[in-house]
A and B are shown apart, each in its own frame.
Chain A
Amino acid sequence: MRYDIRLTIDYAFETPAAGARQILHVMPLPIAGRQRLVAAHLSVEPQPSMRRDRVDFFGNAVTELAFAEPHQDVVIALAARVEVSGSAAPVGPSPDLTWLMWALRAEADLGPRSPLHFLPASPHAPPVAAIAAWARALCEPGRPVSDLVEIIGAALHRTMRFDASATTVDTPAAEAFAARHGVCQDFTHIMIVALRSLGIPAGYVSGYLRTLPPPGRERLEGADAMHAWVSAWCGPDAGWVEYDPTNAVFAGTDHIVVAHGRDYADLAPVRGAMRTSGGQTSSQAVDVIPVG
C-alpha cells in the first residue's frame, strides 16, 4: 500500500513568543520489511533560526527547531510518501507470562528496542491499581502473551467510549480509565499500564492512520489527527506486536509508524518550550490518501 501523507500543525501565541524551541516527532519511520519512506519534506514557517535533524534514543527521527526572533504563529507542514507492506500482528509462537518473565531476566541488552525499557513506570504510564486489577481479572493463566495483548486491547475497546472532548493531553491514565472515556492517547496509556502490570513490556507508538477506509469498511477513529497505539513485547521469538485499542485491531497496513517510546512524553508530535506570558492555541490536520 502506498500513501501520501499531509500533516499541518499550526501554533498561534497570544503574545509574540521569543526564544521558542521545539522538538518534533512527525516523520514516518523506515522499518525493514514493513514500511518504507519513499520521499518526505518537512517545512516550517517562519524560517527557524536553528533546525537540526537527528535520531533519538529509541531510534526515532527527531527535528529540533529554535526561533530566536519573536513570532506569533508557527506552521509545520509535512508531506510524505510511504509504502506499507507489512503488519505488526503476531507471527510465531509467544510464551505465557511465566516464560516471558524468564525471557526478560535473560535480557542483557539496553539498545533502543530492548523490552527492558518498556516495563518500568514512565511519566504518563505510572502503576494504577484499578487498571492492574482490571487487567488481572482478564488474564487467563497459561495463555500466550500475544493472546493476552489482544484480549486486553479488545476489552478496553469495549469498556471505553471514544470521546474527543473529554480529555486533554495531560489527563492521567487513571482518570480517563475511571471515567471510561478518552481519545487514542488515553486508550494507549491505559493499555500500557495494564500490560506492564502483568509483566508485559509495553510502549507507545505514534503514527498516521489511513483517512478513508477501503470500500465496504468502516472509517477508523483517530484518522483526523496523529494517532497512537500500543506495542507489546511477546518474547524473543514473536518480538514486538502492535495493537490499536481505539479500533480493536492489530496495526496493519492502515497504520503508518512515526515513533516508538515508553509513553507520550518520549514522542509527542510537538514538544515545545518558550518564554511567553500569554496562552497558545494549536490545530492539527492530517490526510492519509492511498495512491497507486
Chain B
Amino acid sequence: MPVSAQASANGRPSIVADYAALPGVPDELLAGDGSIRPVWSGLIERLDRLGPEERDRAFARGAQYLRDAGVFVRQYGEGKSARDWPLSPVPVIQPAAEWRVLAEGLAERADLLEAVVADLYGENRLVAQGHLPAGLVASNPEWLRPLVGIRPASGHFLHFLAFEIGRGPDGRWWVLGDRTQAPSGAGYALENRVASTRSFPGLYADSNIERLAGFFRAFRDGLDALRQDAGSRVGILTPGPMNETYFEHAYIARYLGMMLLEGDDLVVEDGRVMVRTVSGPKPISVLWRRLDAAWADPLELKASSHLGTPGFLGAVRAGGVSVINALGAGVLESRAFLAFLPKLSEVLHGRPLAIPNIATWWCGGAAERAHVRANAHAMLIGAANSTGLPLEPEAGDVLRGEMAAGGGDLGAWLEAQGRELVGQELVSLSTTPAWENGRLMPRPMRVRVFMARTREGWQLMPGGLARLAASGHDPSAVSVSSGGSVADVWVVSDAPVPGDSMLAQSGEAFVRASPGLLPSRAADNLFWLGRYVERAEGQIRLTRAYMSRLPETPAGGTPLMGALGSWLDERSLDMGQGVCPEIARTIAMAVNSASTVRDRFSVDAWASLADLERTVARLADTVVPGEDAASAMGVLLRKITGFSGLVHENMYRFSGWRFLTIGRALERALFMAELLATFGEWTGPHGGFELCVEVGDSVMTHRRRYSVTASRDTVVDLLALDPLNPRSVAFQVDEIREQVSLLPGANVNGQLSALSRAVLRIHADLSVLGPQDLDHAALTALSRSIGDLTHDLHAQYLD
C-alpha cells in the first residue's frame, strides 16, 4: 500500500482510495457522489500524511491512555471479568449545524417524555383517554406503584437522558430507543475523547471540535441549583463496584467533584437523606442515581435489595431529596412506548415528532398485529415491556420472523400473546470508517447521545458514544449489538471553538471549596487499603529474606531458617513456591479495597496498583524458590513502593489520606513489633538480629549509628524506639498519633476520643521504655494494643 500522500484515481487520499460505502445505506465519511464530506477532510489528510508507523504510534497513544486510566467494561457471568475498552481510534465526525437540528428535535422529545411520565405518576389522563393501553402500563415492571402520586422535589422527573440514535437509509437521524432510568455512557464518552485527543493532539486543537466540558459544567450547575440549602450536597448514587459501569460512576464523580455514594452510605432521618461520614451524618439533597429504581429502598421496593437505603421513598415522599432521574422514570424505557410516542406528540404537542423513532407496532390491535405478521421478515418481535437496549434481541424475541425450534407458529403466537408484544422495524443504519487490520472499513453505526436539563433548558452533549458493528455484512441495527467497537464522536463547528475544561475559567471568581465529606465506607476502604498494601510489603520483604538465604542453607537447615520458615508458615506464606499465593491474595485485597474508592485516587496510583497485581500474576507462573524468587521480590518491592510513593506524594491531605496513612502505619508498627518479639531475643536463633535489621530495611542506618555488630539492644533501639527511623514502631505510633489528632472529633472541647486516648497511651508507654525493657512479653503486649486500635477506629468512625 502506498504510504505517501498521493491522490488516487478517484481523487481521494490514498488512505481512503479503496474505501467503498455499502450499497443502500449512507456513509458518514463519503457523500453520495463518493467525495469526502468536508468535516472529515482534516482527519483524513492527517491520517494520510502520517506513515504507517507514525499512525500506529498515534493510535497506540490513545489506547495506552485508556489502559492506564483503567477504562474497562465489567462483564457479568461465570469466569468473566473486566475486559479492555474496545475503542476504534478513528472518531465519527458530524457537522455542528446538523447537531443543532438534532439537539432541537431531541429537546422536544425530552419534553414529551417528561409530560408522559408526569402523567403516568400523576393523573393518568393519557390512559383514561385511551392514548396508552392501561394493561400495558399496569404490566410495566418499572411503573412503580409506591411512587404514584408523588411530585418530584425538583419539579421534574427527567434531568439526564440518553437517546440511542442511528441514521437511516433516507439520511435522517432516527431514535432507536430512549434511556430514562439511569443512562450510562457519558463518562465513557469523556474517556474516549481524552484518548482521541491523545491520538491526534494538534488536529484536535486546530479543528474547531466542540468541547464536552461545557455540557458537564452546565449539568452540574443545574444540579447544584436544585439543592435545598447551601450546606447540603450533590452526590452520585452507585450500586457499587460489582456493577458493570462502576468505572464510569467513579470517573464521573471525580470529574464533576461529586461524592460517590452507595446505598449503605445513606440514612434517612426526618424525611431527609443523610450521608454517614467520618464527621457524623451530613445532609444531601440531590442524588444523581446510577442505581435502578427498584433497588433504591428495600422497605418499599425490591425487599431483597442490599444496594438501597431503607426509608428512601419516605424521604422522596417528604420532598427531602431530588433524585435524578426520579424513581420510576424507567417506565419510559419500555419498547412499547415507541409505538405510542408519535401519536402522543400529536396529542400533547400538536405536531409530529421532530426526530422520528423507529417504526414500532403494539400487537394488541388487530390491524397492527396483521401488519407485523405480514412484515415479520423485516422486524424484531418481542416483549412489549422489555427495557433492554433497543433492537438488541433478547431471549424469547423473534428476529426476522424466524421462530425458534419448538416455538410454534408465529401467527398463533401473535394472536395469543399480542398484547404483550411489539414488532419493530429492523432499520438499516449508516456506516462509518473503522480502523481494522491497517485499513479503514465501513461499519454500521449507532450513537448514544446525552441530554441534560440545565438552567437554560435541555442541552445536548456535543459528542457521544458511537458503537460500531463488528462486520459490514449486515447493515441492520441489530448487528451493532454484538461485539464490535466504540468510537468517539466529534462535532465540528464552522467557527473556532474556545478551549474548555472543568477547571475554573479565567475571569470566574476563585473560590476554594471546602474539601468534600468522607463517607464512613470510603474511610473504611482507605484504611484497609493502607493495611493491605503495607502487609503485602512486609510479606514481600520476609519472602525475600528467606529466599536469599535459601541457596546457602545446608541440607539439614539452620535454626534461623527453621524459625523463619515456621513464622512464615503461621502467616500462610508458603515458601515452597517462588511467589507464594498469599502475596497475590493480599494484593488482590488491596485492589479490591481500592476499587471501591477509585474516585479518590489519581489515575497514576490506580495504574500502578493494577500493574503490581499483573506483575505478581506473571511472576507466579515462572519464578522458582531461591535466588530467582529473591530477585522477583525485589521487583515487587520496587513496584509497591511506587504505589505508596504516588499516594503519599500526590494525595490531598484530607481525611481520606489520613485513614490510609493510619492503616499503613498501624500495619507497619504491628509487623515490626511481632518480628522483634520473635527474632529480636537473645534466646532467638542465631542471625535473628541481622534478619530484623534487613527486613526492617535499616542495614545502612544500623551500620552508621552503632558501628558494631547487631546486638539485641542496638536492634530493638533502632527498630522499636528510634523516633527518627521510619521503620521503627515508635515512628509509626507517632504517625498514628499525629493523624488521629487531626481526624474529626478527635478532641471535642478538650475531651479526647477513646481512640485518641488509646494512641496516646501507647505513645507514652513507648517513650519511657529502654531497649532492655522491651522483651518478648512487652513486645507482644505492644503489638496487641496496636492491633486493638482498629476496634477503636471502627467504633468511632467506620461503623
> Are the C-beta atoms of A66 and B311 separated by less than 8 Å?
yes
The answer, among A22, A58, A117, for a CB contact under 8 Å with B138, is A117
The answer, among A56, A68, A105, for a CB contact under 8 Å with B269, is A68
Instruction: Report the minimal beta-carbon distance from A235 to chain B, rounded to whole angstroms.
Output: 16
Answer yes or no: A21 CB below 8 A from chain B CBs.
yes
Answer yes or no: A195 CB below 8 A from chain B CBs.
no
Q: Which of B127-135, B177-185, B642-650 contacts A (4 or more CB under 8 A)?
A: B127-135
Contacts known (A19-B267, A21-B311, A109-B134); A117 close to B145, Cβ less than 8 A: yes
| 18 A–B pairs (Cβ distance < 8 Å), ordered by A | A19-B267, A19-B310, A21-B299, A21-B314, A57-B145, A57-B146, A57-B148, A57-B149, A66-B268, A105-B135, A107-B134, A109-B127, A109-B134, A110-B124, A110-B127, A110-B137, A116-B138, A116-B139
Answer yes or no: A40 CB below 8 A from chain B CBs.
no
The answer, among B130, B146, B149, for a CB contact under 8 Å with A108, is B130
Answer yes or no: A52 CB below 8 A from chain B CBs.
yes
Instruction: Report the minimal beta-carbon distance from B151 to chain A, rounded to whole angstroms.
Output: 15
Q: In the complex, A22 Cα to B535 Cα: how many Å?
A: 42
Contacts known (A50-B270, A109-B134); A273 close to B310, Cβ less than 8 A: yes
Q: In the complex, A23 Cα to B146 Cα: how many Å?
A: 13
CB nearest neighbor in A for B305: A273
Q: In the complex, A21 Cα to B311 Cα: how many Å?
A: 7
Q: In the complex, A108 Cα to B133 Cα: how many Å?
A: 7
Which residues from chain B contact A120 at a C-beta distance below 8 Å? Answer: 138-139
The answer, among B124, B145, B299, for a CB contact under 8 Å with A272, is B299
The answer, among B128, B139, B300, B314, for a CB contact under 8 Å with A109, is B128
Q: In the complex, A22 Cα to B129 Cα: how many Å?
A: 38
Instruction: Report the minimal beta-carbon distance from A79 to chain B, rounded to whole angstroms.
Output: 26
Q: Classify the interface of chain A: helix, strand, loop or mixed.
A: mixed
Taking Cβ atoms with an 8 Å cutoff, the residues of B that contact A are: 124, 127-130, 134-135, 137-139, 145-146, 148-149, 267-270, 298-300, 302-303, 310-311, 314, 419
> Are the C-beta atoms of A110 and B146 separated by less than 8 Å?
no
Answer yes or no: A64 CB below 8 A from chain B CBs.
yes
Instruction: Report the minimal beta-carbon distance from B391 to chain A, rounded to whole angstroms.
Output: 25
CB nearest neighbor in A for B304: A123
Q: Which residues from 238 to 292 on chain A have a C-beta closer than 8 Å to any C-beta of chain B?
A: 265, 271-274
Instruction: Report the minimal beta-carbon distance from B149 to chain A, rounded to whole angstroms.
Output: 8
> Are the C-beta atoms of A108 and B134 separated by less than 8 Å?
yes
Additional 4 contacts, C-beta under 8 A, given A57-B146, A117-B145? A21-B310, A110-B134, A120-B139, A273-B310
Q: In the complex, A124 Cα to B240 Cα: how many Å?
A: 27
Q: In the complex, A181 Cα to B620 Cα: how many Å?
A: 55
Which residues from chain B contact A274 at a C-beta distance below 8 Å? Answer: 310
| A81-108 to B contact mask, C-beta < 8 Å, 1/0 | 0000000000000000000000011011
Which residues from chain A contact B299 at a C-beta distance below 8 Å? Answer: 21-23, 271-273
Q: In the complex, A19 Cα to B127 Cα: how many Å?
A: 40
Answer yes or no: A15 CB below 8 A from chain B CBs.
no
> Are the C-beta atoms of B145 and A116 separated by less than 8 Å?
no
Count residues of A near B (Cβ-Cβ below 8 Å).
29
Q: Which residues from 28 to 76 on chain A have a C-beta closer than 8 Å to any C-beta of chain B?
A: 50, 52, 56-58, 64, 66, 68
> Total A-B residue pairs with C-beta atoms closer than 8 Å?
65
Nearest first, the 5 closest Cβ-Cβ pairs linking A and B are A273-B310, A116-B138, A120-B139, A57-B145, A21-B310
Which residues from chain B contact A66 at a C-beta distance below 8 Å? Answer: 268, 311
> Are the C-beta atoms of B314 and A52 separated by less than 8 Å?
yes
Answer yes or no: A114 CB below 8 A from chain B CBs.
yes
Answer yes or no: A27 CB below 8 A from chain B CBs.
no
Q: Which residues from 124 to 181 on chain A have a C-beta closer than 8 Å to any C-beta of chain B?
A: none
> Are the C-beta atoms of B130 and A56 separated by less than 8 Å?
no
Q: In the complex, A42 Cα to B130 Cα: how many Å?
A: 43
Q: In the complex, A50 Cα to B139 Cα: how many Å?
A: 34
> Are the C-beta atoms of A64 and B314 separated by less than 8 Å?
yes
Q: In the complex, A23 Cα to B268 Cα: how many Å?
A: 14
CB nearest neighbor in A for B148: A57
Q: In the complex, A134 Cα to B137 Cα: how many Å?
A: 29
The answer, among B127, B138, B267, B298, for a CB contact under 8 Å with A119, is B138
Instruction: Report the minimal beta-carbon distance from A50 to chain B, rounded to whole angstroms.
Output: 7
Which residues from chain B contact A114 at a C-beta distance below 8 Å? Answer: 134, 138
Which residues from chain B contact A56 at a C-beta distance below 8 Å? Answer: 146
The answer, among A22, A57, A119, A123, for a CB contact under 8 Å with B135, is A119
Q: In the complex, A119 Cα to B129 Cα: how many Å?
A: 22
Instruction: Report the minimal beta-carbon distance from A22 to chain B, rounded to whole angstroms.
Output: 8
Q: In the complex, A68 Cα to B270 Cα: how many Å?
A: 10
Q: In the complex, A110 Cα to B146 Cα: how many Å?
A: 13
Q: In the complex, A109 Cα to B128 Cα: how many Å?
A: 6
> Are the C-beta atoms of B134 and A116 separated by less than 8 Å?
yes
Instruction: Report the minimal beta-carbon distance from B141 to chain A, rounded to whole angstroms.
Output: 8
Which residues from chain A contact B300 at a C-beta distance below 8 Å? Answer: 23
Q: In the complex, A123 Cα to B298 Cα: how many Å?
A: 13
Which residues from chain B contact A22 at a C-beta distance below 8 Å? Answer: 299
Instruction: Report the minimal beta-carbon distance from B783 to chain A, rounded to whole angstroms.
Output: 27
Which residues from chain B contact A104 at a C-beta distance below 8 Å? Answer: 135
Instruction: Report the minimal beta-carbon distance from B641 to chain A, rounded to whole angstroms.
Output: 37
Q: In the complex, A116 Cα to B138 Cα: how many Å?
A: 6
> Are the C-beta atoms of B311 and A265 separated by less than 8 Å?
no
Instruction: Report the minimal beta-carbon distance from B120 to chain A, rounded to whole angstroms.
Output: 9
Instruction: Report the minimal beta-carbon distance from B303 to chain A, rounded to whole angstroms.
Output: 6
Which residues from chain B contact A58 at a C-beta distance below 8 Å? Answer: 145
CB nearest neighbor in B for A20: B310
Which residues from chain A contact B267 at a C-beta distance below 8 Å? Answer: 19
Q: In the complex, A19 Cα to B268 Cα: how many Å?
A: 9
Instruction: Report the minimal beta-carbon distance from B140 to chain A, rounded to whole angstroms.
Output: 9
Which residues from chain B contact A265 at a C-beta distance below 8 Å? Answer: 303
CB nearest neighbor in B for A109: B134
Instruction: Report the minimal beta-carbon distance from B74 to chain A, rounded to whole angstroms.
Output: 27
Which residues from chain A contact B302 at a C-beta distance below 8 Å? Answer: 123
| A178-195 to B contact mask, C-beta < 8 Å, 1/0 | 000000000000000000
CB nearest neighbor in A for B311: A21
CB nearest neighbor in B for A271: B299
> Are the C-beta atoms of B270 and A107 separated by less than 8 Å?
no
Q: In the complex, A58 Cα to B146 Cα: how many Å?
A: 9
Q: In the complex, A265 Cα to B144 Cα: how many Å?
A: 13
> Are the C-beta atoms of B145 and A108 separated by less than 8 Å?
no
CB nearest neighbor in B for A64: B314
Which residues from chain B contact A273 at a C-beta distance below 8 Å? Answer: 298-299, 310-311
Which residues from chain A contact B135 at a C-beta distance below 8 Å? Answer: 104-105, 107, 116, 119
Q: In the complex, A160 Cα to B554 Cα: how many Å?
A: 76
Instruction: Report the minimal beta-carbon distance from A276 to chain B, rounded to whole angstroms.
Output: 12
Q: In the complex, A57 Cα to B138 Cα: how many Å?
A: 13
Most chain-A CB neighbours within 10 Å: which of B128, B138, B139, B148? B138
Q: In the complex, A188 Cα to B139 Cα: how many Å?
A: 21
Most chain-B CB neighbours within 10 Å: which of A19, A120, A273? A273
Q: In the complex, A22 Cα to B303 Cα: how many Å?
A: 12
CB nearest neighbor in B for A52: B314
Q: In the complex, A117 Cα to B149 Cα: how many Å?
A: 16
CB nearest neighbor in B for A116: B138
Instruction: Report the minimal beta-carbon distance from B697 to chain A, rounded to whole angstroms.
Output: 40
CB nearest neighbor in A for B299: A273
Which residues from chain B contact A110 at a C-beta distance below 8 Å? Answer: 124, 127, 134, 137-138
> Are the C-beta atoms of A108 and B310 separated by less than 8 Å?
no
CB nearest neighbor in B for A118: B138
Q: In the complex, A21 Cα to B138 Cα: how many Å?
A: 29
Instruction: Report the minimal beta-carbon distance from B332 to chain A, rounded to whole angstroms.
Output: 16
Q: In the complex, A119 Cα to B130 Cα: how many Å?
A: 19
Q: In the complex, A265 Cα to B302 Cα: how many Å?
A: 9
Instruction: Report the minimal beta-carbon distance from B283 to chain A, rounded to whole angstroms.
Output: 16
CB nearest neighbor in B for A50: B270
